[in-house]
Chains A and B, each alone.
Chain A
């Protein structure tokens, strides 16, 4: 009898606190958005680093032929010089056909034969210890080649700056959603405490401390947020998995590559949501209880 009675303790706070399913839905939606923002930031960062790495692994040299020298000859001489520079894997003179092939999609077939095209050398640099633009320029000057070296540093800086901005914006979006979740929990805690003022009074008069009462709300909303956060994170994981599955080996968004480790990182979302809710509920409940003194 005693075991039966003591084994099924009713929760101290009544269950009928209004609006809990709605709060769970809001937190789940916010967690879904936060997960997408986090995954977007990770993918943008990864893409930017990939683009920057590719740009950094190549340099383009524009060659100006000497008087009496053909452009192709000057380009070949520049390529031969550059191939011998430390930090260069390969240097290849771009012939007119190859240059026309690159321009054809933008300019069309008609104007290409009459268009004066620059003589270019494509230099593939060593990935670990790439040659600098200065050393390439010096080698060309020493060989008597009049040329301009572009190591893509301008583009690389712009790509990295854009990626950094996207990451900051995604981080801000993540923090805003966490803030919105906290605000929703604060509102729910205040509403719940107002609706249960009688219960709180009874608990207090029977010896419950403010911390104990706040702990009841903290536990309630922490568990609710953990469950809702799990639902939101699972939905986000499903959406990202779909993006990864569709579109072949690179996924449906190859420019913003999603990898499986991103999906796993999102599994921490329920714990984060619970922590935010727990803190919001505790601080709100304590402030409200102490305000009644």
Chain B
């Protein structure tokens, strides 16, 4: 399945959304947090990434969102070498992905509406073009009546849903979510999982990092397990 090393030379021709070849990463001069990670996420795939706390899940997601670069090995996104990509090209990669952070990373001075609209606004879309989609998305995640509320006035679960709405509003090719159901009840977790599955059916590649192995099992998706900085295997 997805966890299989390949040579970097043929990655450009690959339809894979994500590919890591022998990737290692360490913070500063410290020991490597990720070691010899080989990972391929084919276009349109749906994976859960599990592992105990400190296994390196968040670090791996940092690499995928280009918030950090591999200290060794090759990272390919959308068929392009992203590991050594110049800083000026990063927005091009990031506009093709939607990221849900564990700590939400919402802009507190903006309303829920403006937070969801942010990726579209940064991409240069006009308000008249995206207002309908944003409103619809807010209603879909159950925040239709909270559109003008700023994040500090929202509950943890509402913030989580808002962060997910922002991540998926621009129809990204790759969705990376770090514990996206960590602050919601079981019903909402199931609903959000359905949202990710719907987006996956529409063609998006989805990777969800979660410590909730039961949720991963219920989803029926392939599960990648991080242990000691290495991906140990996958199971569907």
B partners with A: yes
- Contact assessment for B113 and A212 in the assembled complex, using a CB-CB cutoff below 8 Å: no
- Which residues in A have some Cβ–Cβ distance to B below 8 Å? 1-3, 5-7, 9-12, 14-16, 198-199, 201-210, 212, 290, 293
**From residue A205, how far is it (CB to closest CB) to chain B in Å?**
6
A9 contact from B87, B91, B127, B147, Cβ within 8 A: B127
**Contact present for A208 and B105 (CB under 8 Å):** no
Q: Tell yes or no: B221 within 8 A of A by CB.
A: no
Q: B41 CB to closest chain A CB, in angstroms?
A: 19
Binds A, one of B128-136, B198-206, B208-216: B128-136
B236 in the interface, Cβ–Cβ < 8 Å? no
Contact A293 B114 (CB under 8 A): no
CB within 8 Å of A: which B80-125 residues: 87-88, 90-91, 94-95, 99, 105-111, 113-114, 117-119, 121-123
Question: What is the bound-complex CA distance between A11 and B106, given in angstroms?
Answer: 14
Q: How long is the Cα–Cα vector from A10 to B36 in the complex, in angstroms?
A: 44
Interface residues of B (CB under 8 A from A): 65, 67, 87-88, 90-91, 94-95, 99, 105-111, 113-114, 117-119, 121-123, 127-128, 130-132, 134-135, 147-148, 166
Number of inter-chain CB pairs below 8 Å: 74
Chain B proximity of A198: nearest CB distance (Å): 8
Q: Which residues does chain B contribute within 8 Å of A202, judged by CB atoms?
A: 105-107, 118
Closest Cβ of chain B: how far from A265's Cβ, in Å?
A: 39
Main secondary structure of the interface of B (DSSP, over half): helix
Contact for A5 among B94, B106, B147, CB less than 8 A:
B147
A12: chain B residues within 8 A (beta carbon):
107, 118, 121-122
Please name all residues of chain B whose beta carbon is closer than 8 Å to the beta carbon of A9 when the two chains form the complex. 114, 117, 121, 127
Bound-state CA distance A134–B235 (Å) is 109
In the complex, which residues of chain B have a beta carbon less than 8 angstroms from the beta carbon of A205? 65, 67, 94, 99, 105
Contact B87 A10 (CB under 8 A): no
What's the Cα separation between A240 and B110 when bound, in Å? 45
